[in-house]
Structure 1
Amino acid sequence: MDSTRMQSQNNDELITHIEHIRGYDERYDEVLFVLKQKNSEEDNVTVYFGGDMQDFAENMNSNSESKKYIKWSLENIAILLHHKFQQSHVLIVRPSRYYRGIFSCYDNYVPSGDFGVPKFVDFYNALTHLKIILNNVSLFIKRKNKPKESKSKHLSDSSINLEKARITLIGFSKGCIVLNQLIREFHFLQTKEVPKEQLNILSRISDLYFLDGGHSGKENVWITERYLLLTLTKLNHIHIHVHVTPYQVKDKMRPWIGKEEKIFTEILIEYKANVTRQLHFHNQPASLNQHFELLNSFT
């Protein structure tokens, strides 16, 4: 946790950019943090893992491919979620690396190959890493915004307790691989004898949002293993939200995505999980623009 900078253009008093924050072992994340708009009795934090091409605006502008989608920069997503989840702090997690400057790789949360294709394992300390990141972001914000040091009245007006906050996790496109790895770890933690403190963060997760999951591999885009989904269902305090578009689930060139999503959703419904599913833009031709527009349309 050794450096920070504030965004200098739009919303400059809302977004805190933390460039190097320590998590589990020697893993470090780069994040954006936005304080919640409205007070609530308990702290809530919404954590976002984005898709390919999504990066900071400065980086997207320097890439001929991603600059076309700069509307969906991580800074803009931070503000979008700030308005969607007004009683929640927002934490945007930047991928740990980009393959060819475009393909998001979440190596801190799931082992990944080229193009960020996941290599899922039963346990990777991803949940522990997330817990430590939240704790350290909370400590960092408190330290940087003591009354004498505060650069932003907005930030110093409220206490921040991410170490105890209820957690909403959002995966968009490639970012859904993080949620998939976490579900594997939910199962591991529920079926193995582990220290109780490792279960603490699991009890604080209230919502999982799967937004048009996809990656460059040809399998394991959605979880289809019954034993994993049964464990997820038994965690009945977790609400599961599935939002998809024809770009992913109706692509004839990648039929496995739609087939896997159908299995994922149907098994959860069969097990009476707390799950909702919505297909957006179903009357429109599939397009990458439509895929990104889901970020605006989901509720």
Structure 2
Amino acid sequence: MQNFSEIPEDTTELLSRRFPDSFVWLIPASRMHLQKFSCYDNFVTSNLFGAPKHSSNGHAFEHLLALLLHGGRQASQILKERLPTQLTLVGFSKGCVVLNQLVYELSTAQQQPELAALMHCITDLFWLDGGHPGGSNTWVTAEEPLKELVACGATIHVHVSPYQVQDPRRAWIGREQRRFVRSLHLLGGLVQEKVHFEDDEPSLEKHFRILEEF
């Protein structure tokens, strides 16, 4: 999941190199506001500028399942219309709101067999320099959803740059990111964290370099 207006042409190639033995789906935002603000309304209710309104009663898992099944039909000779036995989810920049919404839905997804089966396929989740135009909730900090995330057993990968977590104009992003990681550690989660380019000046170019470095 990635910001539609910012997708480099070689993103799929970068991800294919990062996951050489995997099938790669690149899911853009469903709409753009003012050709600048990515909005993932198909995964999470958002305001005009794409700031999410997270809820445990959303439809992100249902939409993800539909996309995977459709992709499977499009490549049925390879996937034979089956869910993958292992699923890695990667969110970059504003696309991380999709991962956050999935975390909020973990408890309700377990109550539906098809969604629970999909949930148990997830082995790794990558948050890559998450950010969005809202003034809060860039990272999941509520304890109950984080407990569910730890309980699912997936490995959580957190890759950030100073562009997001050291911007004084958006200081909440860094605070929430640190709380996210700290809470997962305290809950016994499998967490891997890396701050990229931490000795460099924050820049949009380094923000995009995360896609090459993670």
TM norm structure 1: 0.69
Name the CA distance, whole Å, in 2 between partners of 1:248 and 1:264: 14
Residue 78 (structure 1) shift: 0.7
Residue 84 (structure 1) shift: 1.1
Name the CA distance, whole Å, in 1 between partners of 2:40 and 2:31: 7
Match of 1:181 in 2: 101
The answer to whether 1:54 aligns with 2:6 is yes
What aligned pairs does 1:267-278 form with structure 2 within 5 A after superposition? 267-278=183-194
The answer to whether 1:110 aligns with 2:44 is yes
1:119 partner SS: coil
Unaligned runs of 5+ in 2: none
Name the CA distance, whole Å, in 1 between partners of 2:81 and 2:25: 10
Identical columns (%): 37
The answer to whether 1:289 aligns with 2:205 is yes
Higher helix share: 2
State whether residues 187 and 232 of structure 1, in contact with CA within 8 Å, keep that contact through their aligned partners in structure 2.
no
2:206 partner SS: helix
Higher radius of gyration, 1 or 2: 1
- AA in 1 matched with 2:5: M
Name the CA distance, whole Å, in 2 between partners of 1:162 and 1:134: 9
| Structure 2 CA distance for partners of 1:162 and 1:259, relative to 1, 3 Å | farther
| Structure 2 CA distance for partners of 1:252 and 1:185, relative to 1, 3 Å | same
| Structure 2 CA distance for partners of 1:199 and 1:260, relative to 1, 3 Å | same
State whether residues 115 and 216 of structure 1, in contact with CA within 8 Å, keep that contact through their aligned partners in structure 2.
yes
Residue 161 (structure 1) shift: 4.3
- AA in 2 matched with 1:201: L
TM norm structure 2: 0.95
Name the CA distance, whole Å, in 1 between partners of 2:109 and 2:53: 19
The answer to whether 1:139 aligns with 2:59 is no
- AA in 1 matched with 2:47: G
Residue 51 (structure 1) shift: 2.2
Match of 2:181 in 1: 265
The answer to whether 1:214 aligns with 2:163 is no
1:119 to 34, 48, 53: 53
| Structure 2 CA distance for partners of 1:162 and 1:246, relative to 1, 3 Å | farther
Residue 133 (structure 1) shift: 1.1
- AA in 2 matched with 1:77: T
Deviation sequence 1:12-55 (CA, Å, 0-9, x none): xxxxxxxxxxxxxxxxxxxxxxxxxxxxxxxxxxxxx0126225
| Structure 2 CA distance for partners of 1:89 and 1:81, relative to 1, 3 Å | same
The answer to whether 1:196 aligns with 2:113 is yes
State whether residues 183 and 228 of structure 1, in contact with CA within 8 Å, keep that contact through their aligned partners in structure 2.
yes
1:240 to 156, 160, 181: 156
Give aligned pairs, total: 213
Aligned-CA RMSD value: 1.4
1:114 partner SS: coil
State whether residues 4 and 29 of structure 2, in contact with CA within 8 Å, keep that contact through their aligned partners in structure 1.
no
State whether residues 52 and 174 of structure 1, in contact with CA within 8 Å, keep that contact through their aligned partners in structure 2.
no
1:159 partner SS: helix
Name the CA distance, whole Å, in 1 between partners of 2:25 and 2:4: 18
Name the CA distance, whole Å, in 2 between partners of 1:89 and 1:239: 19
Higher strand share: 1
Name the CA distance, whole Å, in 1 between partners of 2:101 and 2:141: 13
Residue 195 (structure 1) shift: 3.1
The answer to whether 1:172 aligns with 2:92 is yes
